[in-house]
Chains A and B, each alone.
Chain A
Amino acid sequence: GNSVTQMEGPVTLSEEAFLTINCTYTATGYPSLFWYVQYPGEGLQLLLKATKADDKGSNKGFEATYRKETTSFHLEKGSVQVSDSAVYFCALSDWGGYQKVTFGIGTKLQVIP
């Protein structure tokens, strides 16, 4: 079956530090890959996505590249802000007669001033 692996954290960074959150996946087909973000007390919202190998998703300074050869979709940001403090979920979406979405456990990011 499909699976997504990411570290749970928490990851604590100082403001303006570089961020990397690793995500690797296992899938039988050709999935789409997503990063969702959950701010405190809210539901998840899409941060970025990539639908095929070598695609780069980007939004709000965050980037992730779909690497089929390493089955990875690592999230990066060059300079984090306090407002980026949230939980980040890596996910994959595959088609097996219905839309099947598999989420990682979520990585909590805390950015301190």
Chain B
Amino acid sequence: NAGVTQTPKFQVLKTGQSMTLQCAQDMNHEYMSWYRQDPGMGLRLIHYSVGAGITDQGEVPNGYNVSRSTTEDFPLRLLSAAPSQTSVYFCASSEGGTDTQYFGPGTRLTVL
């Protein structure tokens, strides 16, 4: 099993550009989440999904969109990148309930 995969690993954007961070899992997990990791702030939840076709906002959703058309994929879209979105982004999945989360390797995004 590949587990949770994320692409790209690194990305540099200019302010105002848009892009999609890809996330896929092959464990048939219902729950998927996107987090951002910033120094001194730990991980903060951006958006999450409890199954295909169902998404909801987390703690810091502004400037990001998500969709979940399949169980496997959960892309994160930056609509108009801003320097405040410079961060490391992690995708995670879990079977549900209060289970262990499985994390991808992360995408390091820099917005100039």
**A contact set with B: CB distance below 8 Å:** 8, 31-32, 34, 36, 42-46, 49, 51, 89, 93-95, 98-99, 101, 103-106
Q: List 28 A-B contacts (CB under 8 A).
A: A36-B101, A36-B103, A43-B4, A43-B90, A43-B103, A43-B106, A44-B101, A44-B103, A46-B101, A46-B102, A51-B98, A98-B31, A98-B48, A98-B50, A98-B56, A99-B31, A99-B48, A99-B50, A99-B94, A99-B96, A99-B97, A99-B98, A101-B33, A101-B101, A103-B35, A103-B43, A104-B42, A106-B42
Check A42–B105 contact: CB distance below 8 A: yes
How far apart sit A103 and B44, CA to CA, in the bound complex (Å)?
A: 8
Count, A-B residue pairs, CB within 8 A: 55
Known contacts A42-B105, A43-B90; is-contact A31 B42 (Cβ 8 Å): no
Tell me which of B31, B43, B50, B100 contacts A89 (CB under 8 A). Answer: B43
Is B53 at the interface (CB under 8 A from chain A)? no
For the residues of A in contact with B, the DSSP-based class is strand
Question: Considering only CB atoms, which chain B residue lies closest to A49 in the complex?
Answer: B100
* A12 smallest CB distance to B (angstroms): 18
- Chain B residues with Cβ below 8 Å from A32 are 98
Instruction: Specify the chain A residue showing the minimal Cβ separation from B9.
Output: A41
Contact call B98/A94, Cβ cutoff below 8 A: yes
Q: Which residue of B lies closest to A100 (CB)?
A: B45
B97 near A44 with CB under 8 A, answer no
With A43-B90, A101-B45, A105-B41 in contact, do A95 and B105 touch (Cβ < 8 Å)? Answer: no
**Bound: A24/B40 CA distance, A:** 17
Q: Which residues from A are CB-within-8-Å of B94?
A: 99
Interface residues of B in 12-48 (CB under 8 A from A): 31, 33, 35, 40-43, 45, 48
Does B104 make an interface contact (CB < 8 A)?
Answer: yes
| Distance in angstroms between the alpha carbons of A95 and B50 in the assembled complex | 12
Chain B positions within 8 Å of A31 at CB level: 98
Identity of the chain A residue whose Cβ is nearest the Cβ of B6 in the assembled complex: A43
Which residues of B are found within 8 Å of A89, using beta-carbon distances? Answer: 42-43
